A = this chain, B = another copy of it.
């Protein structure tokens, strides 16, 4: 029964993610989580201080998954020209989203649970955010349109998320559109002139 002895903490987080995907973030309850994992409800509190900490940890896990999967360093490599780096960024989000089709959905849902919605990638508020820096530089260099960075990121996020959601819900196959097809739309939106 016990498959890989994957540690409980992760199992609980998995259960939360699964419930979020199945019923939306409001459906997450310690009872349901525990039942899904096959432990006593009170057991959840051995691993997480409270429900909020649990949900936050799920969010953080997705975030760190992105960071560890993608090659953030190259996005700030000044020896690469800006359009290439932006393409790199989009490609990374694209690849990640295809590989983990639910990840962005989970993060979006968690954000929605608490208060205002999240239209763009996490960390947008963080001025140190590498992506924000990249896009700001691109705006300054007149490479992309002189619009708020959040709009640019919104296009990237919205397009890729919609696309991968379409695929994972079987609305069309993954091969029907290439990355270049998707990137064309995004880049046309962003680029100046």
* Chain A residues within 8 Å of B, Cβ to Cβ: 22-26, 105, 108-109, 112-117, 119-120, 145, 147-148, 150-151, 154-155, 157-159, 161-163, 165-166, 171-172, 177, 181-182, 184-186, 188-191
Contact = CB atoms under 8 A, between A and B. Distances in A.
A173 to B, nearest CB: 12
Contact of A150 (B108, B115, B166, B182): B166
Nearest to A165: B119
A151 B155 contact: no
Give the interface centre of A112, A116, A155 by most chain B CB atoms within 10 Å.
Answer: A112
User: Within the oligomer, what is the number of copies of this chain?
Assistant: 4
Give the interface centre of A145, A181, A188 by most chain B CB atoms within 10 Å.
Answer: A188
A166 B23 CA distance: 29
Contacts of A182: 147, 151
Given A22-B115, A150-B162, 17 more contacts: A24-B116, A26-B113, A109-B112, A109-B117, A112-B113, A116-B165, A147-B177, A148-B172, A150-B171, A151-B159, A151-B163, A154-B159, A154-B161, A155-B158, A155-B185, A155-B189, A188-B188
